[in-house]
Amino acid sequence: MEQNDPMMCTPNLEEAINYQPLVLAPETPLVDVIARMSQMPFSSCTLGAEPHYSLGAEKNTTRPTCALIMQDQNIVGILTERDIVRFAAAGMDCDRVTAADVMAHPVKTLSLADFKDIFAVMFLFRRFRIRHLPIVDDQNQLIGIAEPGSLRKVLKPANLLKLRRVSEVMSTFVIHAPPTCSVLSLAQLMAEHRVSCVVIVEPAPDDGLKPIGIITERDIVQFQAMQFDIDRITAADAMSSPLFLLNPEDSLWSAHQEMQRRRVRRLVVSWNWGQALGIVTQTSLLKVFDPLEMYGIIETLQQTIQQLEAEKASYWRQQDAEVS
């Protein structure tokens, strides 16, 4: 095997660090936090203006997905898109709320000295059910932040993804809703079920479901930033559509390529003419590099090798028989 083969490359995890994360003070008004996370300046969060729909927020991967709350150079909390969705679902007014009022704390961090093992990092994501991991120096000072998406970009073993199917890592726990639902009700569903999106569906033949769109946490943050009355906006008006649908038998490499090409963080899976739905996310793709999952890859490789060896032996026996 060549030394520059993707299977042999050790990822440089430091390349997965975002060295310029969004950092705000605890007294920052929540309205300003939302504005910075959506990168859309505004000065009010009345949420009463007539909506002017400007969607596709999911596709802009340059926007921060969280804000680190710091005081005296110490990390005291974190605000993520999921926190904003939970706040929006409660129907609260954010004009008089600060970051300190709604931030999650304490914050799990990892020292740069320990940021060497991809498996250890993925264990932390799974163990603490987080999607953002601040990286600190030996003085506990912030260096940057790592996320599943940034880790996926530095992982090189494309062949591993080509060997695995979407069905092996997808989640079949999919929250869906009809296009007539309000965005507020969708935010409430996300908060209740702790999911990052709701798939919008229409009835299909034989009691199936036809996925026609999706609303994500990123969309909710954008609607908050644009002062939309999310109780008045329907899913049909706000959803990202049309959807690109995966099949369970597609390779994870195909899923990875589509996410990169479409600049999205999740893809919907549909099969049996809408009888079943699934979701594949950036975090799902990382499962293939989990130590336990690696056993499945090794087993697949061993079976392939055994099959090739058996076919080779059969071929030579046939050649010997013809010569005799």
* pTM for the full predicted model: 0.70
**Does residue 324 register a pLDDT over 70?**
no
Topology at the third CATH level for domain 166-287: CBS-domain (3.10.580)
Which of 89, 265, 299 is CA-nearest to residue 194?
89
Specify the residue for token string 């790592």.
146
Tell me: the pLDDT tens digits for 96-135?
A: 899 999 999 999 999 999 998 777 788 888 889 899 999 9
Tell me: the pLDDT tens digits for 209-224?
A: 999 999 999 999 999 9
- Among the ranges 35-39, 90-94, 237-241, which has the highest mean pLDDT value? 237-241
DSSP 120-164: HHHHHHHHHT-S-EEEE-TTS-EEEEE-HHHHHHH---HHHHHHS
Helix 217-225 vs helix 30-38: angle between axes, to the nearest 10 degrees?
A: 120
According to CATH, the superfamily of the domain at 9-155 is CBS-domain (3.10.580.10)
The domain ranges of the chain are: 9-155, 166-287
Which of 8, 93, 3, 107 is CA-nearest to residue 48?
93
Q: What's the CA gap between 273 and 208, in Å, rounded?
A: 7
Domains 9-155 and 166-287 share a fold: yes
Q: Which amino acid is at 73?
A: Q
**Contact predicate 169/252, CB 8 Å:** yes
